[in-house]
A and B are shown apart, each in its own frame.
Chain A
Amino acid sequence: MQWLNLLNANIRKEYIELKRYLPNTIALLLTFYIIFLAAFFGIMFVGDPASFEVNVQYSIISVAFWSLTMMTMNFIGFAIVTEAMRGTLEQLYMSPLGVWKIMLTRIIAQFILQMVFMVILLFAAMLTSGQWLNLNPMTTLPIILITMVSMTGVSFMIAGLAIIVKQIQAFLQIFQFVLMALVFIPISVAPFLAFAPFVKGVDMVRTIMIENITLTQIPWADYSFLIANSIVYLTLGLVVFRSCEKVAMKKGLLGQY
């Protein structure tokens, strides 16, 4: 019940802030809309018409996957830095539920809101282009969801760093490039990369879409690996985050001193 009330409060807060900062939100929505449209038209003119649908579908899922990944990775660290700058971080630390729970509910809230936006925009893009895709989200969504759990772990690690140094912009940019590189290296070339967060998920989605198979056709070993990977990263993320909190409390870094 406490969890639910916490989740409810944080979904409301995220929603209110998106609504109140409409220009920002609209800019974000437009970006996605244009990217989706570009995917439609670009592939329509350049790609092979025979594989049009698969290509569009693949690029759209990739865009969605990539932006969710980036959002998730940056989110908690950015929230911590913002709260610290506004001076509200200490009040968050007065919650008997713990800041990690608050941040977890906020990231879930953001995730839900982003998914809603993406679905709406996708339909808008299909409407504009007149191309109706048979997107089958049931095959990829579960994999994306599990992958986001590991990205949440990464997000907590970055947030831990943010509590202490309060400056993560440069670091995030480097990280973004590292992730980008990871996406383009196939696991078959460097199998150990599967232990990195997010890479296994991307690989599975790619396989599903290119080989046009369904969820049940993927071996259980792959799922088990993906789930284990997510659990490990989330746990690691929380451990790092909580140790950084302790350091911050020792050195008096939570306030605006």
Chain B
Amino acid sequence: MEAGEDEGFVEKIIEVHGIRKSFKKRKTKEIITAVNDVSFDVHRGEVLGLLGPNGAGKTSTIKMICGLLQADEGSIHINGLDIQKRRLKALKHISAVLEGNRNLYWRLTVRENLEYFAGNRGLSRKEVAAQIEKLLSQFHLKDKENELVNGLSRGMQQKLAIAVALLANTEVILLDEPTLGLDVEISYELREILKTIVKEEKRTIIISSHDMPVVQELCDRTIIINKGTVVVDERVENLLKLFETRAYSIKLGDALSEAQQLKLQRKFPLSTYKVGTHQTTVEVNLEHSEDIYELFDIFKEEGTQVESIDRITIDFEQVFMEIVKGEKNYAMA
């Protein structure tokens, strides 16, 4: 047997190594590279956020982890099992809620869906009866248990789809855009439910999302992918800290001279300079923390008073937008 093929306790429950996937467009025969050399590991119990704009390759990556899509190159191991060679065995460890709203049978009721999908994993109704009750109340679906999924709101359908995935009792759960298309209220409710689950159960979860609060509140770590490649792989707190320390708002005693403004523009093209009636502020986003000295040199030249320096608190959304829009490759220190 090949090394790393043994099942048993593996610290990294998911190992993704150099995966690539291209599709041929049906009409134009043009080849699109959806995922281009993506690698990452996920540890047991970790909650990983997968962020990226539309078309970045999130769904393709998730489907390759489930074995629904075969990678053109690279390998994926789940609990040490190669998903391409031993798919069914590896699937014992994974459940997933895929993108969109078709993870359920619309012609079956809420309860029938839970029971049916458990049955498809070889579980009897008796075995899952207690857990179904627990999930129905946890997801506030108890009073809908005998209603057809067809008649439920999009939010309730999504809650049920997640409940179905949880019922499988797998160590790994993949959630592809769980809050996409939901209104604010239900999106908040879902987030709160997921928060409890993350706290109470030691599951390994990958959540792909556009929804920053979801990632910010639930995830330990985040991977940002853009155009099929990993741009950032960092703990959420570090990512926020990093950007916090780099974004400053500086209040000045006097206005800057023409020469100073010119220098500011040249050295820090993305900075903003505002002259108000009472005060003047400069906002900058420094790429390297040493750059702050250069900034201060500009002020010192003409003896401009610096009244205060504040870090700008930014949320995850801004971080994400900067990375994706700027296409910068942030090598983490």
Binding site for B on A (CB under 8 A): 1-3, 5-6, 8-10, 12-13, 16-17, 20-21, 86-88, 90-98, 102, 246, 249-252, 254-256
- Which residues of chain B have C-beta atoms less than 8 A from A2's C-beta? 122
- How far is A96 from B102 in the complex, measured between Cα atoms in Å? 19
Q: From residue 19 to 70 of chain B, which have CB atoms closer than 8 A to chain A?
A: 21, 23, 60, 63, 66-70
| Shortest Cβ gap from B115 to chain A (Å) | 7
- Which B residue's beta carbon lies closest to that of A91? B103
A5 and B123 contact, CB distance less than 8 A: yes
Name the residue among B66, B104, B121 with the largest chain A CB count within 10 angstroms.
Answer: B121
Q: A31 CA to B162 CA in the complex, in Å?
A: 42
Interface string of B256-292 (1 = CB under 8 A from A): 0000000000000000000000000000000000000
Residues of A contacting B102 with CB < 8 Å?
86-88, 256
Does the CB pair B120–A102 fall under 8 Å? yes
Q: Which residues of B contact A20 (CB under 8 A)?
A: 107
Shortest beta-carbon distance, B247 to chain A, in Å? 39
Residue numbers in B under 8 Å from A21 (CB-CB)? 107
B14 within 8 A of A: no
Chain B residues with CB under 8 A of A250: 70
- Interface hits, B95-119 → A, CB 8 Å: 95-96, 98, 100, 102-108, 112, 115-119
Tell me the complex Cα distance, A12–B108, Å. Answer: 11
- The segment from B85-93, B225-233, B303-311 that touches chain A is B85-93
B94 at the interface (CB under 8 A from A): yes
**Which B residues are CB-close (under 8 A) to A91?**
98, 103-104, 117
List 5 A–B pairs whose Cβ atoms lie within 8 Å, in order of A's numbering: A1-B122, A20-B107, A94-B95, A102-B120, A251-B23
A residues less than 8 Å from B122 (CB atoms): 1-3, 5-6, 96-97
Partner of A16, one of B112, B117, B121, B123: B112
B124 in the interface (beta carbon within 8 A):
yes
Asked if A5 and B68 sit within 8 Å, CB to CB, the answer is: no
Cross-chain contact B68 with A8 (CB below 8 angstroms): no
Contact present for B124 and A97 (CB under 8 Å) = no
Q: Are B105 and A93 in contact (CB under 8 A)?
A: no
**Bound CA–CA A239/B96 (angstroms):** 27
Docked CA distance A93–B67 (Å): 9
CA A92 to CA B108, docked complex, whole Å: 15
CA distance A5 to B92 in the complex (A): 16
Q: Which of A6, A12, A96 has the most CB of B within 10 A?
A: A96
A249 pairs with B124, CB closer than 8 A: no
- Of the listed residues B91, B92, B107, B119, the one surrounded by the most CB atoms of chain A closer than 10 A to its CB is B119
> Contact between B63 and A94 (Cβ–Cβ < 8 Å)?
no
Selected contact of B119 from candidates A10, A96, A98, CB within 8 Å: A10
How far apart are the CA atoms of A1 and B126 in the complex, in Å?
13
* Interchain CB contact under 8 A, B68 and A95: no
Complex partner residue of A97 from B88, B107, B112, CB under 8 angstroms: B88
Residue from the list B70, B88, B116 in contact with A9, Cβ < 8 A: B116
Chain A residue at smallest Cβ distance from B148: A20
Instruction: Flag if B69 contacts A95 (CB, 8 Å).
Output: no
Could you tell me the distance in whole angstroms from the C-beta of B16 to the nearest C-beta in chain A? 17
State the Cβ distance, B56 to closest chain A Cβ, in Å: 16
Cβ–Cβ < 8 Å partners of B23 in chain A: 251-252
B100 lies within 8 A of A87 (CB): yes
Shortest Cβ distance from B109 into A: residue = A16
- Bound complex: CA A3 to CA B122 (Å): 7
Residue of B nearest to A4 (CB): B124
Whole-angstrom distance between the alpha carbons of A17 and B68 in the complex?
27
Q: Is the CB–CB distance between A252 and B69 below 8 Å? A: yes
Looking at the assembled complex, report how far the CB atom of A101 sits from the nearest CB atom of chain B, in whole angstroms. 9
Instruction: Decide if A249 touches B108 in the complex (CB within 8 Å).
Output: no
CB within 8 Å for A90 and B116 given contacts A13-B108, A17-B107, A96-B89: no
Which residues of B lie under 8 Å from residue A1 when comparing CB positions?
122, 124
Which residues of B are found within 8 Å of A8, using beta-carbon distances? 119, 124-125
Q: List B contacts of A5 (CB < 8 A).
A: 119, 122-124
Residue of B nearest to A98 (CB): B88
- A6 to B122, alpha carbons, bound, how many Å? 5
User: Which residue from A88, A97, A246 sits with its C-beta under 8 Å from B70?
Assistant: A246
Quick one: given A94-B66, A249-B68, are A6 and B119 in contact (CB under 8 Å)? Answer: yes
Which residue from chain B places its CB closest to the CB of A254 in the assembled complex? B68
- Contacts A21-B107, A249-B69, A254-B69 known; list 5 others, CB within 8 Å: A8-B125, A88-B105, A90-B98, A102-B120, A252-B23
Chain B, 107-151, contact with A by CB distance < 8 Å: what is the 0/1 string? 110001001111111111100000000000000000000000000
Q: How far is the CA of A95 from the CA of B121 in the complex (A)?
A: 6
CA distance A16 to B66 in the complex (A): 29
Contact A96 B121 (CB under 8 A): yes
Contact partners of A10 in chain B: CB under 8 A: 119-120
B116 and A256: CB pair below 8 A?
no
Of A86, A90, A94, A246, most B-chain CB atoms within 10 Å: A94
Residues on the B chain within 8 Å of A96, using CB: 88-89, 91-92, 121-122
Who on chain A is nearest to B168 by CB? A94
Most A-side CB within 10 Å, residue of B60, B68, B91: B68
Q: Say whether B88 contacts A255, CB under 8 Å.
A: no
* Nearest CB of chain B from residue A245's CB, rounded to whole Å: 10
Q: Are B121 and A97 in contact (CB-based, < 8 A)?
A: yes
Known: A16-B112, A250-B70, A255-B63. A95 touches B120 (CB 8 A): yes
